[in-house]
Chain A
């Protein structure tokens, strides 16, 4: 990514600033003063929002004025960021799949996808590892610890 560290710092700081603003706006309508000798619900949050805005403004200003060599180098190189995305996007899809297919099926697909992408494994190993590990997890959570996890159509078919 061509964004320099300085720019990303600035963006993040401004994002936090806006979050602080959102907190302040929400607090105002809750009441920010005193009532019945105790602070109203918005009393703490507005001060938190205020400190957040001031501190992040400070960080933003510092980032803006920072001309040191580390500040102008890229935040993350494209090759590295690609690797990060290569994990993050599948993870996002995986989380979506959990709601639809249940966690066990989604996980089998998830592990299998990674193993296939690495191109180092044969089909048998991929199946063995992905299915095998999820069967183990199933045993550990559903049977041993009695902690229910989201299930989907496959488990419904099998009677769970």
Chain B
């Protein structure tokens, strides 16, 4: 098959000593980032992104995707040992992971979590390998109206399908759009919303927003909980590892089911975090031991980890093939690609074949390497969290400040980061979702350009978005997803059985 050849070519691109060293470095940095609070997925990638400006794009994306892997693996460590989810997608892992650790079975939980992650990620990558080129080829037919429809679909699904209050999702999204509009407008050359501040002419960079919101905001929030990290011991002897592996095939149905859930949720925008909860919930429903979930069931650790990693990986599929990120971290990676001048989307597969397949190949390698590394270094990383918070907190903040500064070599950005930190703190406490904000900040300009190009071509006719079957169906789907909660509410009311009231 065409894809397999391309994949093998990709391996050829990746397998150099330099790249393997970058992968190693990336994974270790990623696990570190996943383990430390305030540095989870989107933020960690955002801070380390400027480090890669001096590298070739292929090398850079290899390191960044390995950081992504490492962060995903690392999030499970803190969830299980410290009951602190390192990532939003690791929250469900704490449900059964921490009880297992409390019972002295941390080794089992960790092995199960990492192996589950490996499996989920592998499924996601197979999906990408075989589907992404097809999606890309299909997307070649897309013109500005179709692209705008797809963006509309992304935004609507974030609002309609997420578990957060729709009004707050809308507000977050609009704020992101507003921030994206600041600066010079590319199509007319006019300057928007800078309110006289000259440095704002280049706009607000999404990296600053991400570092402030997810980094500083998270630290401020963590401070409320006090300054102690008391974790359970982690001994991961090879014997425990092999024992757990021997017992895993028993849960094959959970593995496959969670992987499917994860892949589906990852590809549909807005699904990444929800995937782990869904995986857990459905595994619990269908399990023979459902009432023991929450007290330390290995299955309860497998399901969310498989789902979370499958979705985290498959979130890269729409990102690569269409330029639509399925998760906040994928959104940051998308931003990185744009900075290097690589436009994600269908043309990427044609014009930069080496890059794309090199990336996909490195993901396979990174997954395997990540699993091996994380299994062997758990005690080391767990020990890092024993470092007193009075040392960790300032270090994380320093890293955030460095990250914010290196984007444009501007101190204003550091100040903006602080502002975003305050916003992040309040938003998180008030349950305003942050992912839509990041998403619309990154995609806002592109969506607006697509809209205006469509209008130019159609001479102001709004029906261009429903003029052909492709754009029309996507637009219709978008509107359906937007009003999904209302639709389901009305549907269930229609189907409620009529009750005969006996006096």
Chain A residues, Cβ within 8 Å of B298 = none
Residues on B with C-beta less than 8 A from A86 are: 223
Find residues 408-445 in chain B having any chain A CB closer than 8 Å to their own CB. 409, 411, 414-415, 418, 421-422, 425-426, 429-430
How far is A36 from B452 in the complex, measured between Cα atoms in Å?
A: 11
Distance (whole angstroms) from the CB of A46 to the closest CB of chain B: 10
- Closest CB in chain B relative to A4 CB, distance in Å: 12
**Chain B nearest Cβ from A95, distance in angstroms:** 5
- Report the minimum CB–CB distance from A91 to chain B (whole Å): 5
- Shortest C-beta distance, A40 to chain B (Å), equals 7
CA–CA, A48 and B50, complex, Å: 31
Complex contact B460–A34 (CB within 8 A): yes
| B220 near A88: Cβ-Cβ < 8 Å | yes
* A94→B397 contact, CB < 8 A: yes
Contact check, A117 vs B216: say whether CB atoms are below 8 A apart.
no
Interface size on A, residues (CB 8 A): 65
> In the bound complex, how far is the Cα of B174 from the Cα of A59, in angstroms?
14
Q: How far is the CB of B211 from chain A (nearest CB, A)?
A: 12
**Which of B177-185, B240-248, B261-269, B469-477 lies at the binding interface?**
B177-185
Is B188 within 8 A of A16, CB to CB?
no
- Please name all residues of chain B whose beta carbon is closer than 8 Å to the beta carbon of A75 when the two chains form the complex: 429
Select B181's contact among A9, A44, A91, A133, beta carbons within 8 Å.
A44
Residues A29-70 near B (CB distance < 8 A): 30, 34, 37-42, 44-45, 48-49, 51-52, 55-56, 58-59, 62
Complex: chain B residue closest to A30, CB-CB? B190
* A95 x B418 contact (CB < 8 A): yes
- Contact in complex: B220, A38 (CB < 8 Å): no
User: What number of B residues sit within 8 Å (CB to CB) of A?
Assistant: 58
Q: Are B188 and A40 in contact, with the CB atoms below 8 A?
A: yes
The CA-CA distance from A20 to B178 in the complex, in Å, is: 9
Which residue of chain A has its CB nearest to the CB of B389?
Answer: A118
Q: Measured between alpha carbons, how far is A40 from B393 in the docked complex, in Å?
A: 46
Q: Give the residue among B188, B219, B422, B451 with the most A Cβ atoms within 10 A.
A: B188
Residue interface bits B167-199, CB-to-A below 8 A is 1, else 0 = 110110011011001000101101011010000
Is B372 interfacial (CB 8 A cutoff)?
no
Most buried by B among A12, A16, A48, A76: A48
Across the A-B interface, the 8 shortest Cβ-Cβ residue pairs:
A118-B390, A80-B224, A52-B174, A41-B190, A114-B394, A41-B185, A55-B170, A111-B394
Which B residues have a C-beta under 8 Å from some C-beta of A? 50-51, 53-54, 167-168, 170-171, 174-175, 177-178, 181, 185, 187-188, 190, 192-193, 195, 216, 219-221, 223-224, 226-227, 388, 390-391, 393-395, 397-398, 401-402, 405-406, 409, 411, 414-415, 418, 421-422, 425-426, 429-430, 448, 451-452, 455-456, 459-460
- A contacts, CB < 8 Å to B: 5, 8-9, 12, 16, 19-20, 22-23, 26-27, 30, 34, 37-42, 44-45, 48-49, 51-52, 55-56, 58-59, 62, 75-76, 80-81, 83-84, 86-88, 91-92, 94-95, 98-99, 103, 107, 110-111, 113-115, 117-118, 120, 129, 133, 137, 141, 145-150
29 CB-based A-B contacts, threshold 8 Å = A23-B178, A39-B451, A39-B452, A42-B192, A44-B451, A45-B192, A49-B174, A49-B178, A51-B174, A55-B174, A81-B224, A84-B221, A86-B223, A87-B220, A87-B223, A87-B393, A87-B397, A91-B418, A94-B397, A94-B401, A95-B415, A98-B411, A98-B414, A103-B402, A114-B394, A129-B391, A148-B409, A150-B405, A150-B411
